[in-house]
A and B are shown apart, each in its own frame.
Chain A
């Protein structure tokens, strides 16, 4: 299981990459993409929408399932990875490159794990 050390993680299997103190990108982890199977569509918010930590900001669709994407952060959506609209398979192919949203004006965040803690957390999930 690929867990890059430079990222932070949530128990709902999102990753967070801080670009600055108030801006970060969010995606889903290798564990999540594998559990979801072939992703066929990603529903994402629009630029300017606000997101709230621990609340859904979108969802991923596989053929027979829908899973919420939970925001690790509170803030405003400043960018959306439009490429995923046409090529959702990129999430399966390289989930750490396939960021979903960029959040700016971060006002709060849920408790995040580092890579080591997330790896340990995954062990408890088995």
Chain B
């Protein structure tokens, strides 16, 4: 039942102090006339309502969450506690500089650490999420070419295995998109890249490890081809968790990068956000970064504005509290902990892959990085059991399914990312669930079409939802 059905007219909560100045009414021409409503709820009922909703929500602590490309690692509690300090939460974004030195120190220190990890020279925390970071990074590339009067560079190369945000961001930034096919190993087809890279190329967007979970061993050749054609290389940091502390994108030939602090740096996803998608760049792109940028001037933190900046990409300075959490995480892990986390993410993924691949064929052979992609094409053909059926069956084991039907180049794909914070025992239990489901797929495939059985609802009718959208509560829909 929704809040609107639970609402009891007349109910409410005494929250504010009595008005201690004379009452003044808004000028009548501006006063709202139209009807509107909000739920009328006593705190006790409201509180219970949300406890019910929480019970119907699978969080990282409710069970294994191997959602590929999303890095659902454990969200440390100390990070939350520190981001809730009044010394951060009660600070107005337009306070005088001398009163926000601690906030600027957080931004500055996080920037220093993330530059060291990524091999970049500067970073802006304005972008609020990964896609926002992509858009920002692409505008840096656009501004760079324009500053050189190189106006014909209007194309961005994007591998066909890329996250959907890559082509969408490039399009928002005003570029046309050239798709680069993958080779049989799931990596960039070098010949196709050479053929596509030319004097119209503004840049290449790439994630490495790529979306099939492989480290593209031709990476240095790839970035060289683009540079030689006069383009820049953009690193989509969605998969940085596999390589942080092992290799720096800046040393692989990348000029611009975005990170997802809500993936790699342990900040929680909040049911879809807030995230934080800082953009880093090499020296020659610093003038184009969003304004303002935190710097140290004469032993004091200060804001710097650049004349050549692409401008703001949002109000104020970014999702600041998320940066506080990421900084706490970086301080906790430190120089050894960061590569250790990466290596264990890769270890966990390979361990699961090894224990599954006799039944579930991987899309590409060999060692994977922090995630791997299985293809259920054969099972679908032979038994009519789809990736969706396997995913829904996992729900009955208390496991959040892997990412389904992505990347697009793999038919019936399941993309599994265990992350480093899962124990061997959890992985073994998940492997067991996968194997049991496989056995059912062979013996009683129709049973899997009916999964899940143990959840609060069965599979929802998505066709109806999209054909006749009901996107707000109304009494007649109940």
B466: Cβ under 8 A from any A Cβ: yes
Chain A neighbourhood of B462, CB < 8 A: 63
Q: How far is the CA of A41 from the CA of B463 in the complex (A)?
A: 10
Chain B neighbourhood of A38, CB < 8 A: 463, 467
Chain A neighbourhood of B466, CB < 8 A: 40-41, 61, 63
B364: Cβ under 8 A from any A Cβ: no
Which residues of B in the span 450-476 have a Cβ within 8 Å of any Cβ on A? 462-463, 466-467
A114: Cβ under 8 A from any B Cβ: no
Q: How far is the CB of B194 from chain A (nearest CB, A)?
A: 29
Chain B neighbourhood of A62, CB < 8 A: 463
Q: How far is the CA of A101 from the CA of B467 in the complex (A)?
A: 20
When the two chains form their complex, are residues B405 and A40 in contact, meaning their CB atoms are under 8 A apart?
A: no
**What string of 1s and 0s marks CB contacts (under 8 Å) between A53-78 and chain B?**
00000000111100000000000000
Q: How far is the CA of A62 from the CA of B467 in the complex (A)?
A: 9
Chain B neighbourhood of A63, CB < 8 A: 462-463, 466
Chain B neighbourhood of A64, CB < 8 A: 405
Which residues of A in the span 32-55 have a Cβ within 8 Å of any Cβ on B? 38, 40-41
Q: How far is the CB of A84 from chain B (nearest CB, A)?
A: 11
Chain B neighbourhood of A40, CB < 8 A: 463, 466-467
Chain B neighbourhood of A27, CB < 8 A: none
Which residues of B in the span 81-138 have a Cβ within 8 Å of any Cβ on A? none
Q: How far is the CA of A62 from the CA of B463 in the complex (A)?
A: 8
When the two chains form their complex, are residues A41 and B405 in contact, meaning their CB atoms are under 8 A apart?
A: no
Q: How far is the CB of A38 from chain B (nearest CB, A)?
A: 4
Chain A neighbourhood of B467, CB < 8 A: 38, 40-41, 88-89
Q: Which residue of A lies closest to B466 (CB)?
A: A40
Q: How far is the CB of B414 from chain A (nearest CB, A)?
A: 15
The number of chain B residues with a CB under 8 A from chain A is 5
**What string of 1s and 0s marks CB contacts (under 8 Å) between A80-117 and chain B?**
00000000110000000000000000000000000000
**What string of 1s and 0s marks CB contacts (under 8 Å) between B385-405 and chain A?**
000000000000000000001
Q: How far is the CB of A12 from chain B (nearest CB, A)?
A: 19
Q: Which residue of B lies closest to A41 (CB)?
A: B466
Q: How far is the CA of A3 from the CA of B462 in the complex (A)?
A: 30
Chain A neighbourhood of B405, CB < 8 A: 64
Q: Which residue of B lies closest to A86 (CB)?
A: B468
Q: How far is the CA of A61 from the CA of B466 in the complex (A)?
A: 9
Chain B neighbourhood of A88, CB < 8 A: 467
Q: How far is the CA of A64 from the CA of B405 in the complex (A)?
A: 10
Q: How far is the CA of A89 from the CA of B463 in the complex (A)?
A: 10
Q: How far is the CB of A118 from chain B (nearest CB, A)?
A: 26
Q: How far is the CA of A88 from the CA of B468 in the complex (A)?
A: 10
Q: How far is the CA of A40 from the CA of B462 in the complex (A)?
A: 9
Q: How far is the CB of B391 from chain A (nearest CB, A)?
A: 13
Which residues of B in the span 323-361 have a Cβ within 8 Å of any Cβ on A? none
Q: Which residue of A lies closest to B468 (CB)?
A: A86
Q: How far is the CA of A55 from the CA of B462 in the complex (A)?
A: 30
Q: How far is the CA of A64 from the CA of B466 in the complex (A)?
A: 10
Q: How far is the CB of A90 from chain B (nearest CB, A)?
A: 11
Q: How far is the CA of A52 from the CA of B313 in the complex (A)?
A: 37
Q: How far is the CA of A38 from the CA of B468 in the complex (A)?
A: 13
Q: How far is the CA of A89 from the CA of B462 in the complex (A)?
A: 13
Q: Which residue of B lies closest to A64 (CB)?
A: B405
Q: How far is the CB of A124 from chain B (nearest CB, A)?
A: 21
Q: How far is the CA of A92 from the CA of B466 in the complex (A)?
A: 15
**What string of 1s and 0s marks CB contacts (under 8 Å) between B429-469 and chain A?**
00000000000000000000000000000000011001100
Q: How far is the CA of A63 from the CA of B404 in the complex (A)?
A: 14
Chain B neighbourhood of A89, CB < 8 A: 467
Q: How far is the CB of A73 from chain B (nearest CB, A)?
A: 26
Q: How far is the CA of A63 from the CA of B467 in the complex (A)?
A: 9
Q: How far is the CA of A38 from the CA of B462 in the complex (A)?
A: 10
Chain B neighbourhood of A61, CB < 8 A: 466
Chain A neighbourhood of B463, CB < 8 A: 38, 40, 62-63
**What string of 1s and 0s marks CB contacts (under 8 Å) between A15-35 and chain B?**
000000000000000000000
Chain B neighbourhood of A41, CB < 8 A: 466-467
Q: How far is the CA of A69 from the CA of B54 in the complex (A)?
A: 43
Q: How far is the CB of A115 from chain B (nearest CB, A)?
A: 30
Q: How far is the CA of A89 from the CA of B467 in the complex (A)?
A: 8
Q: Which residue of A lies closest to B405 (CB)?
A: A64
Q: Which residue of B lies closest to A40 (CB)?
A: B466
Most buried by A among B405, B462, B463: B463
Q: Which residue of A lies closest to B462 (CB)?
A: A63
Q: How far is the CB of B246 from chain A (nearest CB, A)?
A: 35
Q: Which residue of B lies closest to A37 (CB)?
A: B463
Q: How far is the CB of B330 from chain A (nearest CB, A)?
A: 37
Known interface pairs A63-B462, A64-B405; 13 further A-B residue pairs with C-beta atoms within 8 A, sorted by A's residue number: A38-B463, A38-B467, A40-B463, A40-B466, A40-B467, A41-B466, A41-B467, A61-B466, A62-B463, A63-B463, A63-B466, A88-B467, A89-B467
Could you list some 15 contacts between A and B, CB below 8 A? Answer: A38-B463, A38-B467, A40-B463, A40-B466, A40-B467, A41-B466, A41-B467, A61-B466, A62-B463, A63-B462, A63-B463, A63-B466, A64-B405, A88-B467, A89-B467
Q: Lowest 9 CB-CB distances: which A-B pairs, in order?
A: A40-B466, A38-B463, A63-B462, A40-B467, A63-B466, A63-B463, A40-B463, A88-B467, A89-B467
